[in-house]
Amino acid sequence: MQQQVIIVGGGMVGLSLALMLAKANISVKILEAIQYPTLNTQEPVPYHSSFDARNTALSRRSVQIYQNLNLWEALQQHAAPILEVQITEQGSFGKARLLAEQEKVESFGQVIENAWLGRVLLQQVRAHAGIELIDGVTVQGLCQDHDKVYIEAVRADQQALSLDSDLLIAADGRDSVCRQALGISVSVHDYDQVALVTAVETSKAHHNIGFERFSPQGPLALLPLPGEYRRSVVWPVAKGTEQQWLGEENDQHFLDALQQTYGDRAGKFVKTGKRSSFPLSQVLAERQAVGRVVLMGNAAHTIHPVAGQGFNLCLRDADVLVRYIAEQLQSQQDIGDPAMLHAYAQARLTDQRRVIKFCDSVVRGFSNQNPVLKVLRNTGLLAFDLIPGVKPLLANYAMGLKA
């Protein structure tokens, strides 16, 4: 009997996971609350859900996953490689550098626009015979017994929809309805920050260098985009201060603030796109597998965007889950077996905890403006360039190769 998976959530994680499962010959249904448009060859996915104005830094491991799905040729058209990473702190002396050439890799990863990534994923999902995308559907409840998961949903026209599956994967975001329906509790830490996100143009070429610049406002990430002078900006600032940098009337004010924080390494910040803002918090599910349901993506763990680790961690989760499911299928076992899903969740804890602790520690550590701690931080950045073995270790973690 054909076993089926239902994924709730058709964002970047949900669509990517569906394509991974379909490649393993597993039938997939995706339920997505947003009504996606019919795309022509030039039309990007609208800026909503996870396909917004943000850009994603794909680690080398994530690039490998998309290569295995035969998607990278299409994705690469709108991606820029990161050949060097520089880490500095505003007003301080420390500086750390990672060079792809020294680490003997072609790049540390690729920066891609979410709207383009979403467009390619959505087109591939719609074209795949093994995937059914049911969009414009809101999940209202779910329950499960020994054999199945049962989902109650409603379409945009208020038509009721009842579905069941052997396995349900909840990839429906930070405020997951599925997680709440299962009664899974979460731990929440509000960073009291809002991320400003946009693309800018500078007078100097980026030369495929990515920067992490720590400032009193927050850690500014400046990453290369396709086009010699275009850069992606992710800048967490204190909650309540973001309005002064949003809106077209504040374009120059935003550029001036960037210039002051970043300095002249990029030359002059000459142009900015529309800014979006997103509140930042850490939301961690207490459990990631309950019965025949497994949490995925932000439903399982939402983390701070510093170092760009969140989406890459989610893709590694998905890659491992598909391997567990494929092994069950190959041995003609139940793909929704609760013991197998529990084993998957346990297997992922080491990688997840390492990344979560790293991101949280960086944010908390660099937020403290105590002069003594600033000296210690910058001494550490200098030592980073001198201590043997540290660079390759950090580079492998950043590339997602030490999961």
Q: Is the separation of the CB atoms in 151 and 248 below 8 Å?
A: no
Residue 374 lies in a domain: no
Please tell me the predicted confidence (pLDDT) of residue 372.
Answer: 37
The mean pLDDT value of the chain amounts to 84
Residue 40 lies in a domain: yes
- The pLDDT confidence band at residue 49, using thresholds 50, 70 and 90, is very low
The strand pair at 160-165 and 230-238 is best described as unpaired
Residue 393 lies in a domain: no
Q: Is the pLDDT of residue 43 over 70?
A: no
Residue 199 lies in a domain: yes
Percent of the chain beyond pLDDT 70?
Answer: 83
Please tell me the predicted confidence (pLDDT) of residue 323.
Answer: 96
- The pLDDT confidence band at residue 296, using thresholds 50, 70 and 90, is very high
Averaged pLDDT for residues 53-70: 89
Residue 110 lies in a domain: yes
- The pLDDT confidence band at residue 357, using thresholds 50, 70 and 90, is confident
pLDDT in tens, 190-227: 989 998 999 999 999 999 998 888 767 667 888 999 88
Residue 370 lies in a domain: no
Please tell me the predicted confidence (pLDDT) of residue 142.
Answer: 93
> CA–CA distance from 238 to each of 52, 198, 309, 367 (Å)?
22, 17, 21, 11
Q: Which residues contact 332 (CB under 8 A, 6 or more apart)?
A: none
Please tell me the predicted confidence (pLDDT) of residue 37.
Answer: 76
Instruction: Supply the CATH number for residue 346's domain.
Output: 3.50.50.60
Please tell me the predicted confidence (pLDDT) of residue 62.
Answer: 93
Residue 126 lies in a domain: yes
User: Which domain, by its residues, includes 341?
Assistant: 4-365
Q: Is the separation of the CB atoms in 86 and 210 below 8 Å?
A: yes
Percent of the chain beyond pLDDT 90?
Answer: 58
Amino acid present at 37 = P
pLDDT in tens, 365-395: 555 444 433 444 344 434 434 444 444 545 4
Q: What's the pTM value of the predicted model, to 2 decimals?
A: 0.87
pLDDT in tens, 236-251: 888 999 999 999 899 9
Residue 263 lies in a domain: yes
Lowest-pLDDT range, 62-66, 246-250, 258-262?
258-262
Which residue would you say has higher pLDDT here, 169 or 396?
169
- Number of domains making up the chain: 1
Please tell me the predicted confidence (pLDDT) of residue 354.
Answer: 87
Which residue would you say has higher pLDDT here, 101 or 71?
71
